[in-house]
Amino acid sequence: MRKIPDRNIEAAKAAHVQAVRNYVQTKGECYQRDLFEAVTAVCPVRYDFAEACRRDDWSWLERFLLADVPTLRRLTQEKTEALQFEQFLKLYQNRFCHGADTYVDASTCYNSYSLIQNLGVTVCPYCDEEYLHVLKSRDQKTVRTLELDHFFPKKKYPALAMCFYNLVPSGQACNGIKLEESLGMSPFEPEIESCTRLCPDLPMGVNMEAVPVEECVIHFHPGGAMGENVKTLRLEERYLRHRAQAHRYLVLRQNFDETKLQELVRLGIFPSLEQAREVLYEENAASADQPLLQKLKHDILEF
């Protein structure tokens, strides 16, 4: 429902690939050869393992680890049997996601916590209603209140367990509901935010101050594959608790539309439209960089 921000992705990808590559380089030739054969059975190359070693060429590994969501989707449809090798699943379980003090690569201290912090995601992108925290202090164990969801389930596709675009920081609620189920759209896909429109279905021109909060049932109006996300994650049921928020936004839109805001600025009540929106719509009121329910607010207020 919310796209993972682009601003940190390139640096996060580079750190992820470097750490996995460093790990593989510590393994023996037999391990490296087996991994090469398994990976290139999924993503073929025009050279063999000996030539890759001679050229110190790790592009085969990087290409696989950084396959984008459309490519991963195609591979799960066409290469299901070839995606059963478990080297990356074991790396995920034993090093990447085995606590804050266990690392894929000791030289860079890289693990799941590093990925989460590198991406800078602080709100669950699946639901937009749960904060994600990494909590650490000098004298206490580092813990997190979030999960790393495998968009393409690792139980079904163990080979994809360490693929960058298959690792989605998510809230415990969404991950606990999804489990090994499939979803239609990933938060890494650019169009995910445009495939839903959150708002109650109320008559045109209705006086919102006369509408009970209970009638502000939020519908997602999903398009295409987003219907699978909404259904599987039970988003409309979960958003019943946000009816009061939806009602408040609808009242604001009714009483302070763009024309009214411009009038308030003209009368000198606010120095600018931006100031009017900040005060009336609370655009900058939340202390978090990524406030909750921003998709709901955006769709109702029509920013």
Among 157, 188, 219, residue at a domain's last position = 188
Alpha-carbon distance 249 to 253, whole Å?
6
In this structure, the answer to whether residues 148 and 229 fall within a common structural domain is: no
Instruction: Specify if 58 maps to a domain.
Output: yes
pLDDT, one tens digit per residue, over 41-97 is 999 999 999 999 999 999 999 999 999 999 999 999 999 999 999 999 999 999 999
Which residues are within 8 A (CB) of 174 and not within 5 positions of it... i.e. 6 or more apart?
Answer: 124, 126, 127, 130, 149, 233
In this structure, the answer to whether residues 149 and 54 fall within a common structural domain is: yes
pLDDT beyond 90 at 201:
yes
Burial class (CB in 10 A: 0-12, 13-18, 19+), 65: buried
In this structure, the answer to whether residues 170 and 201 fall within a common structural domain is: no
In this structure, the answer to whether residues 35 and 182 fall within a common structural domain is: yes
Range of the domain at 276: 196-301
Instruction: Specify if 1 maps to a domain.
Output: no
- Report the SS3 class of residue 274: helix
Task: State which H helix or E strand residue 141 sits in.
Answer: strand 140-144
Instruction: Specify if 78 maps to a domain.
Output: yes
Q: What is the pLDDT of residue 91?
A: 98
Instruction: Specify if 107 maps to a domain.
Output: yes
pLDDT beyond 80 at 139:
no
Give the pLDDT band (50/70/90) at residue 138. confident
Tell me the average pLDDT of the chain: 94
Give the pLDDT band (50/70/90) at residue 172. very high
Burial class (CB in 10 A: 0-12, 13-18, 19+), 196: buried
In this structure, the answer to whether residues 147 and 94 fall within a common structural domain is: yes
pLDDT, one tens digit per residue, over 147-162 is 999 999 999 999 999 9
Which tokens hold the place of 105? Answer: 């690569």
Burial class (CB in 10 A: 0-12, 13-18, 19+), 7: exposed
pLDDT beyond 70 at 286:
no
According to DSSP, the residues that pair with 147 across neighbouring strands are 170
In this structure, the answer to whether residues 247 and 142 fall within a common structural domain is: no
pLDDT, one tens digit per residue, over 102-120 is 999 999 999 999 999 999 9
Length of the chain: 303
For residues 255-279, average pLDDT: 91
pLDDT beyond 70 at 284:
no
In this structure, the answer to whether residues 171 and 65 fall within a common structural domain is: yes
Q: What's the domain count of the chain?
A: 2
In this structure, the answer to whether residues 167 and 252 fall within a common structural domain is: no
Among 168, 188, 208, residue at a domain's last position = 188
In this structure, the answer to whether residues 126 and 210 fall within a common structural domain is: no
- Residue 164 contacts residue 17 (beta carbons within 8 Å): yes
To the nearest 10°, the Cα dihedral for 155, 171, 213, 229? Answer: -30
In this structure, the answer to whether residues 78 and 36 fall within a common structural domain is: yes
According to DSSP, the residues that pair with 143 across neighbouring strands are 135
Q: What is the pLDDT of residue 258?
A: 86
Q: What is the pLDDT of residue 236?
A: 97
Among 171, 188, 205, residue at a domain's last position = 188
In this structure, the answer to whether residues 57 and 182 fall within a common structural domain is: yes
Instruction: Specify if 181 maps to a domain.
Output: yes
Q: What percent of the chain has pLDDT over 90?
A: 86
Alpha-carbon distance 136 to 38, whole Å?
38
- Residue 279 contacts residue 270 (beta carbons within 8 Å): yes
Q: What is the pLDDT of residue 282?
A: 76
In this structure, the answer to whether residues 137 and 219 fall within a common structural domain is: no
**What's the one-letter identity of residue 174?**
C
pLDDT beyond 80 at 288:
no
pLDDT, one tens digit per residue, over 207-248 is 999 999 999 999 999 999 999 999 999 999 999 999 999 999
